[in-house]
Amino acid sequence: MNFPPLQSWIPGSQRPLVIAGPCSAESEVQVLETAQALAKLPWVKVYRAGIWKPRTRPGLFEGVGTAGLAWMSRVKEETGLLTTVEVARPDHVKDALAHGIDILWIGARTVVNPFSMQELAESLAGVDIPVMVKNPVNPDLKLWMGAIERLHKNGITRIAAIHRGFFQSEKTQYRNAPLWEIPIELMRQMPGLPVLCDPSHISGNRSLIQQVSQQAMDLEMDGLMVETHPDPDKAWTDSVQQITPESLGEILNNLILREQKGSREFERTLEELRHEVDLIDYEMIRLLAKRMNIAEEMGRYKYTHNITILQLQRWKELFADRIKKGNKAGLDNRFLAALLQLVHEQSIQIQTNVMSRGEEQ
């Protein structure tokens, strides 16, 4: 699939492209006041506002609806900023197009549902408009790619992905886990696809937006979508993660845009380090293969002696021991636990296969 670069569909944009505006359009005054302040920031090229708000429970503020689209039209007329809104249904698309919205975005709760994505993609067939696709709520790369593919098959080529983090059950400093490896893999599998970061939804707290934005730039993402409000503490939705336009200006001024390609000395040193990583990876693969061969031998031995595959107490002791040793080595607990679980699951699967075949030592 071919994806036109951002610069071809957002005039004057440079890295990072910044999309900013309130989580929710609350009133015409609020929408215009925010837009006028943002138009003074040279990085901001697109104005965002939530018109229809998907909420977890009914009865909460669900957006001003179609009335807010007229306010967005005024933003474009008075500031020159392009406009973007979230759409979740074909009738949203129809209303947004009728009001001259420049770019559509599809939210995480819609992307997670292939039926909804197919309906939206079909409603956009034959429409020449850019569409941005947020990652699904859960860390499922195939769902994210599938949503992009559905749009592309219906003739939408000006597509960008937005990384907004993923649901997490455990409590951390983030509202949504960044899991940077997933958007990195998306960029690898879909070369040329513009990828932006939504630090507001990853952070869930305005104090982390600078840090997350910098990480996104260091990972060569193309831009940022940041929720801004003239008085964030009084915002009707997601007040804690919104910032003022002035704060956004400070964050952008403090961003460090590192060179994507350095000097010859830099490239030589980097290539040496990459070579070391390659050698370590090859050794890990060799050792993993050796471990699985031993797991197969264990399966045969257990079959011969009529012993169950899973020795729960042994696994608990092994897990605790490896976590302890990993801590001493400076490894992250969550990373190590996930790795151990994957290795253990594969080992159990190999032994199960041996048992089912009835092989003997």
Residues 107-127 have pLDDT tens digits of 999 999 999 999 999 999 999
- In this predicted structure, the answer to whether residue 360 has a pLDDT above a threshold of 50 is no
| 44 phi/psi in degrees, rounded to 5 | -80, 120
In a domain, 103, yes or no: yes
Nearest to 251 by CA among 41, 45, 40, 48: 41
Determine the average pLDDT of the residues in 97-106. 97
In a domain, 277, yes or no: yes
Let me know whether 166 and 195 are in one domain: yes
Q: What is the pLDDT of residue 262?
A: 58
Let me know whether 232 and 335 are in one domain: no
Residue 255: Cβ within 10 Å count:
17
- In this predicted structure, the answer to whether residue 80 has a pLDDT above a threshold of 60 is yes
Rounded Cα distance between 50 and 152, Å, is 24
Q: What's 303's domain CATH number?
A: 1.20.59.10
In a domain, 260, yes or no: no
User: What is the total count of domains within the chain?
Assistant: 2
In a domain, 349, yes or no: yes
- In this predicted structure, the answer to whether residue 354 has a pLDDT above a threshold of 70 is yes
Q: What's 195's domain CATH number?
A: 3.20.20.70
- In this predicted structure, the answer to whether residue 230 has a pLDDT above a threshold of 70 is yes
Q: What is the tens place of the pLDDT at every residue in 145-165?
A: 999 999 999 999 999 999 999
Rounded Cα distance between 4 and 9, Å, is 8
Q: What is the pLDDT of residue 112?
A: 95
Let me know whether 245 and 336 are in one domain: no
Rounded Cα distance between 304 and 172, Å, is 46
Residue 274: Cβ within 10 Å count:
10
Q: What is the tens place of the pLDDT at every residue in 241-278?
A: 999 999 999 999 999 987 665 566 776 777 788 888 98
- In this predicted structure, the answer to whether residue 361 has a pLDDT above a threshold of 60 is no
In a domain, 259, yes or no: no
Let me know whether 342 and 221 are in one domain: no
Determine the average pLDDT of the residues in 215-220. 91
Let me know whether 237 and 350 are in one domain: no
Q: What is the tens place of the pLDDT at every residue in 65-77?
A: 999 999 999 999 9
- In this predicted structure, the answer to whether residue 90 has a pLDDT above a threshold of 50 is yes
Q: What is the tens place of the pLDDT at every residue in 23-58?
A: 999 999 999 999 999 999 999 999 999 998 776 677
Let me know whether 137 and 233 are in one domain: yes
Let me know whether 271 and 352 are in one domain: yes
In a domain, 154, yes or no: yes
Q: Which of the listed residues 254, 285, 306 is the one where a domain comes to its end?
A: 254
Let me know whether 16 and 135 are in one domain: yes
Let me know whether 25 and 124 are in one domain: yes
Q: Which of the listed residues 254, 279, 299 is the one where a domain comes to its end?
A: 254
